[in-house]
Amino acid sequence: MRVLSIETSCDETGVSIIEASGDFNADFSYRVLGNALLSQAAVHAPYGGVFPNLAKREHEKNLVPLMQQALVEADLLTAGSSIADIGTILEREADLRTQLDAFLSEYAKPRIDAIAVTHGPGLEPALWVGVNFAKALAAAWQLPIVPVNHMEGHIVLSATGEDGLASFKFPLLSLLISGGHTELVLSKEWMQYELVGQTRDDAVGEAFDKVARLMDLPYPGGPEISRLAAEVRGEKPLVTLPRPMIDADNYDFSFSGLKTAVRKVVEANQPLTENMKKHIALEFENACADVLIAKTKRAIEEFSAETILIGGGVSANSHIRASLAKAIEKSGYETKLLIPPPALATDNALMIALAGYFRALKDEFAEPVTIRANGNLKLT
State pLDDT tens for residues 233-268.
999 999 999 999 999 999 999 999 999 999 999 999
Residues 122 and 227 in one domain: no
Average pLDDT for 185-206: 96
29-53 pLDDT, tens digit per residue, is 999 999 999 998 888 888 778 888 8
* Average pLDDT for 354-372: 97
CATH code, domain carrying 45:
3.30.420.40
In a domain, 40, yes or no: yes
Give a yes or no: residue 138 inside a domain: yes
- More confident position, 368 or 84: 368
Whether residue 163 is contained in a domain is answered as: no
Asked whether residue 165 is assigned to any structural domain, the reply reads no
Same domain, 32 and 14: yes
Instruction: Please tell me the predicted confidence (pLDDT) of residue 84.
Output: 73
pLDDT at 82 over 80: no
pLDDT at 197 exceeding the cut of 90: yes
334-349 pLDDT tens trace: 899 999 888 888 899 9
Predicted confidence (pLDDT) at residue 56 exceeds the cutoff of 90: yes
Mean of the per-residue pLDDT values for the chain? 94
- % the chain with pLDDT above 70: 99
| pLDDT at residue 117, rounded to an integer | 98
Residue 88 domain flag: yes
Is residue 239 one of the residues assigned to a domain? yes
Same domain for 133 and 214, yes or no, is: no
pTM of the predicted model as reported, rounded to 2 decimal places = 0.95
Q: According to the model, what pLDDT value does residue 83 have? A: 67
Give how many domains the chain has, as a whole number: 2
Same domain, 90 and 201: no
- In this structure, are 174 and 89 located in the same domain? no
Same domain flag for 26 and 142: yes
Q: Residue 259's pLDDT is what? A: 95
Q: Is residue 164 part of a domain?
A: no
Q: Are residues 320 and 351 in the same domain?
A: no
118 and 215 share one domain: no
pLDDT at res. 255: 96
**pLDDT tens sequence across 297-339:** 999 999 999 999 999 999 999 999 999 999 988 888 889 999 9
Residues 180 and 65 in one domain: no
pLDDT tens digit sequence for 260-288: 999 999 999 999 999 999 999 999 999 99
pLDDT value for 42: 85
Summarize the confidence of residues 193-217 as an average pLDDT.
95
In a shared domain, residues 196 and 150: no
Query: According to the model, what pLDDT value does residue 85 have?
Result: 79
pLDDT tens-digit readout, 145-192: 999 999 999 999 999 877 778 889 999 999 999 988 999 999 999 999
Q: Are residues 240 and 355 in the same domain?
A: no
Q: Is residue 376 part of a domain?
A: no
Mean pLDDT of 348-369: 97
According to the model, what pLDDT value does residue 48 have?
A: 78
Q: What is the 3-state secondary structure (H, E, C) of the chain?
A: CEEEEEECCCCEEEEEEEEEECCCCCCCEEEEEEEEEEECHHHHHHHCCCCHHHHHHHHHHHHHHHHHHHHHHCCCCCECCCCCCCCCCCCCCHHHHHHHHHHHHHECCCCCCEEEEEEECCCHHHHHHHHHHHHHHHHHHCCCEEEEEHHHHHHHHHCECCCCECCCCCCEEEEEECCCCEEEEEECCCCCCEEEEEECCCCHHHHHHHHHHHCCCCCCHHHHHHHHHHHHECECCCCCCCCCCCCCCCCCECCHHHHHHHHHHHHHCCCCCHHHHHHHHHHHHHHHHHHHHHHHHHHHHHHCCCEEEEECHHHHCHHHHHHHHHHHHHHCCCCEEECCCHHHCCCCHHHHHHHHHHHHHCCCCECHHHCCCCCCCCCC
Q: Does 116 lie in the same domain as 239? A: no
Domain span including residue 202 = 170-305+313-344
